[in-house]
Amino acid sequence: MNTGNIKPTPIHKLDDNELSFLYVKREDMIPYSFGGNKARKALLFFEEIDKKGADVVVTYGSSHSNHCRVVANMAAARNIPCIIIGPEEVSDTTYNSVLMELFGAKIITVPVDKVHDTIEAELARLRGEGKNPYFIQGGGHGNIGTESYVRCYKEIKSYEKETGIKFDYIFFATGTGTTQAGLVCGQLMEEDDRHIVGISIARKNPRGRDVVLDSIYEYLDAKAFSYDKSDVEAKTVFIDDYTGDGYGKDSKEIENIIKESMIKYGMPLDATYTGKAFCGMKDYIKKNNLEDKKILFIHTGGTPLFFDELNNWRA
């Protein structure tokens, strides 16, 4: 499967009593390994992996990682070994980690402060054995990941042109930063006037926003695209009010929004990414009196993690 085979993911209106113009873009419906933004990114990464003839894929992520699940799946489909290096602090068993094992990935867990050195040691070992490893940063970070969401932004623009609907706000879960970077770069290139709001699932400001800004500047510079730094900064809205106790941490409020979404919309969310972002979006809309605005929520995937939630509720 390559990116040329993927049709634009659907956008549809949600029946919501409080919000008259709430729409969702279902990235979880990308037809590969439960989809999601990590599938969109990985498809582009594996185009490069195929071109370079890499024979081992190395990446970073926790047991909750949608990125690691998708990368392990794509590597297995090519009969390429996949090595995942993750923090032992977030190494509990999840449906994503079970799938990684199903795909035959080698999972190495170390203390988070040992991750960088472990990655370097693994890459050196593989090269010393005559291998041609390809390293993907956690979450699909880098210009390839950013490019995938520049393309996603173009899909949103095409939908608006076809339907006559113009979204005032776009919300989504933001983590390693390239999803948000790609959307902002897409906005800058299209010269659009709208609000793109990333709801952080773990990182706090200023670091969280700075990582997004770094990705934006790196991509625009690589494309030799002229920009006004103050304009970029104004368009990069990174909200860290809803991170709770950190990455992968649940709360009763998030649990309730996940249940409500499944019951009202038939749409699965999860506590690590989309549930946290959807919960944050609704609160942000209420606090800023945006109920009459046209809102698009990008569902960035994570369906296996929804089933972890079901298990937790039954425990």
Instruction: Give per-residue pLDDT as tens, 153-170.
Output: 999 999 999 999 999 999
**Residues with Cβ within 8 Å of residue 129, at least 6 apart in sequence:** none
Pull the structure tokens for residue 71: 């990368």
Is residue 30 scored above 80 in pLDDT? yes
Instruction: Give per-residue pLDDT as tens, 251-264.
Output: 789 999 999 999 99
**Sign of the dihedral defined by the CA atoms of residues 156, 161, 162, 167, in that order:** positive
The pLDDT value given to residue 18: 80
Is residue 244 scored above 70 in pLDDT? yes
**CATH 3.40.50.1100 domain span(s) along the chain:** 3-34+142-314, 39-139
The pLDDT value given to residue 249: 56
Taking the model in full, what pTM does it have? 0.94
Instruction: Give per-residue pLDDT as tens, 107-155.
Output: 999 999 999 999 999 999 999 999 999 999 999 999 999 999 999 999 9
Q: Which fold has domain 3-34+142-314?
A: Rossmann fold (3.40.50)
Among 131, 215, 231, 227, CA closest to 178? 215
**Residues with Cβ within 8 Å of residue 284, at least 6 apart in sequence:** 171, 197, 199, 239, 241, 290
Is residue 248 scored above 60 in pLDDT? no
**Residues with Cβ within 8 Å of residue 196, at least 6 apart in sequence:** 169, 170, 180, 183, 184, 187, 235, 236, 237
Confidence of residue 246 (pLDDT cuts 50, 70, 90): low
CATH 3.20.20.70 assigned to domain 39-139? The reply is no
Q: Do the strands 56-60 and 133-136 form a parallel or antiparallel pair, or are they unpaired?
A: parallel
The pLDDT value given to residue 3: 47
Q: What percent of the chain has pLDDT over 70?
A: 96
